Amino acid sequence: FDKTPASKYVMAILKDENRPPGLLAQTLRLVSPTDPELTVDLLNRFLGSQEPRLRLEAVRTLQGSPLSEAPAILRRIASDEKEDLRLRSEAAVGLATSLTGDNPASTETIVGLLRSSEPTLRTEALRAARGVAAGNAPLSEKVRQAAKELPPAGTRPTDEDRALAEEIALALTGV
């Protein structure tokens, strides 16, 4: 049997600028985010596409990418209010790994998303903070502040309030 990874067969498709964006999106799913042939230039080309599926797959690839530029690209997308909400949410999730190191810019981005008027962005920011908020003082403080903004006890919480409270608890307990 041929032991060559499937991704090696499809890299030529990804590098071909004449391929339809839909095909590129499907193909990108087959390649490991750690594949050394997935360069910043290639991923930026996909992010510049008009095809939402290709842009989404590029962000999802960046979530697991070892590229040093990945956190900065994800921060830019997550912070851009003109970007598609789903793309911003996926970028926020991708910032989770950069919160564990010394990366104040990623912490600042997640903190900014905690203040967002978009419930989805707040939830994804809290999801990114899971397991790291306890060891990241600025982030932990902002998560606690988000908890204080929930409706007071004795009031009837909405489904959104309950979901947010669950995410806050998970972020603070490190689960």
Q: How far apart are CA 67 and CA 70, in angstroms?
A: 5
Q: To the nearest 10°, the Cα dihedral for 118, 174, 87, 41?
A: 140
Residue-wise pLDDT for 134-148, tens only, equals: 777 778 888 888 777
Residue 68 has a CB neighbour count (10 Å cut-off) of: 8
Tokens of residue 80, six digits: 């851009």
Residue 94's pLDDT band, with cuts at 50, 70 and 90, is: very high
Q: Which two tokens stand for residue 50?
A: 């008009």
> At 175, is the pLDDT very low, low, confident or very high (cuts 50, 70, 90)?
low
Quote the DSSP letter at residue 155.
S
pTM value?
Answer: 0.85
pLDDT in tens, 27-41: 999 999 999 999 999
CA 137 to chain centre: 21
What's the one-letter identity of residue 80? D
For 46, the token pair is 């996909």
pLDDT tens for residues 29-77? 999 999 999 999 999 999 999 999 999 999 999 999 999 999 999 999 9
User: With 70 as the cut, is the pLDDT of residue 116 above it?
Assistant: yes
Closest CA to 170 of 116, 139, 114, 132: 132
